[in-house]
Structure 1
Amino acid sequence: MKQPLFRMVAVVAVLGSVASMASAQDVEVLSGDTRLACEAILCLSTGQRPSECTPSLSRYFGIHKRKLSDTIAARRDFLERCPAAQQTPQMLGLVHAISRGAGRCDAASLNATLRMWTGSDGGEIQISDRMPAYCVAYTGHAYTDFNQTQPRYVATPESGGYWVEARDYERALADHPARQEATRQNYWWGGG
């Protein structure tokens, strides 16, 4: 059995054991936000999300506060409504990694947040090729499976590198020299 698949089976088993305990004690335990929180944990633990994830992900990503830190805390609190969330240190770690990384570690978000100015004369913008620690913790957690879907970096920061979704990597890699030349031409002919 593949290691990531085994990890996902472990998460499902933990959540399943909570569901069976809940059904033995109280049929209503896994309903409402409790159920959506457990589903969100499962859905946010992989980059390939089925349509059945829509209600739980809508609920999770619908949590917005004024400050990012408050949004992260509120989303973590929501996920902790799942009884399995605090059952083991690993599950609690997963909940914390999801609350910090989910929705912030895709290619578009990385390209927006990892921009940096270089040079002293106004310089140019480069995008860092180093994934933030919260993304490393999220995508690299033992209970997540992002091996095939994790964003990848094309080229180097100095050559106009950028993040792309895994499915677009080969095409972006092949297109990068033409993109770099177009950027250079635009700069020299007054566009930059």
Structure 2
Amino acid sequence: MKKVMATLLAVAMAGTASTASAEGFTGDTKLACEAILCLSTGSRPSECSPPIRKYFSITARRMSDTIKARKNFLNLCPAASQDDSMRSLVDSIANGAGRCDAATLNASQRVWRRDDGSRTVVRNSLPSHCGSYGGHGYIDPENATVARYVGDPERGGFWADPADYDAALARYNSQLRDGNGWNGNGEGGVRWRADGGR
């Protein structure tokens, strides 16, 4: 994260030195640079709302076209093409941001259980685009951007957002200990809700 900030600041300073305006970047160029910073961490201040809103407002009919359009938006930031690391960061963000949170992974990783087909499980395998996004060297490791898996797929496992992981794991283990979870015959399963079951 510090590397990203330093790179973006260097480009911003060079940009302001070469223009008559001391204001720096404006418009979509500014939003693109801010989006790169904001999507590089899971801890986003309120100042991230406009660039995040702009980034996620970019949609197309097909996911591949949405990813391409979002990448083109991020590439408006001069720092996006400064070196190979920044280019790979932009690629990782475009492919992962908005697709690696708990709600999306719980939906996209849900499959019918093969043996009887009567219930679904949520796979615990992280898609490669999420691994690239969360594992990029410029992504803030202390404020994760990718959901983490809780439990066992056959025992009601699920994805939880990084900020909720510890509480979700404790609740999952508590439900298993209390006998409210998987009962060994393929029925039941831990049901976890973001509202804590209230």
Distance in 2, Cα, partners of 1:180 & 1:62: 40
Per the alignment, residue 196 of structure 2 pairs with none
Total equivalences in the alignment? 178
Pick closer, same or farther for the CA change 1:126–1:107 going to 2, 3 Å: same
Per the alignment, residue 164 of structure 1 pairs with 160
Aligned-partner residue type, residue 106 of structure 2:
N
Give the one of 39, 44, 69 matched to 1:44: 39
Q: Is the Cα contact below 8 Å between 2:81 and 2:87 reproduced in 1?
A: yes
Instruction: Report the TM-score, using the length of structure 2 for normalisation.
Output: 0.83
Aligned-partner residue type, residue 25 of structure 1:
S
Q: Which structure's relative contact order is higher, taking Cα pairs within 8 Å and 6+ residues apart?
A: 1
Alpha-carbon displacement from aligned partner over 1:129-182 (angstroms, at most 9, x marks no partner): 11100000001000001444342211111112111122322332233222445x
Structure 1 residue runs of 4+, over 3 Å off? 146-150, 183-186
Per the alignment, residue 21 of structure 1 pairs with 14
Structure 2 residues not aligned, in runs of 5+ = 190-198
* Higher share of residues assigned helix: 1
C-alpha displacement at 1:184, in angstroms? 3.4
C-alpha displacement at 1:29, in angstroms? 6.1
Alignment of 1:58-69 (within 5 A): 58-69=53-64
| Percent of residue pairs identical | 48
Per the alignment, residue 184 of structure 1 pairs with 187
Distance in 2, Cα, partners of 1:165 & 1:180: 22
Three-state SS of the structure 1 residue aligned to 2:103 is: helix
Alignment of 1:1-192 (within 5 A): 8-26=1-19, 27=21, 30-149=25-144, 150-176=146-172, 177=176, 178-180=180-182, 184=187
Aligned-partner residue type, residue 14 of structure 2:
M
Structure 1 residues not aligned, in runs of 5+ = 1-7, 187-192
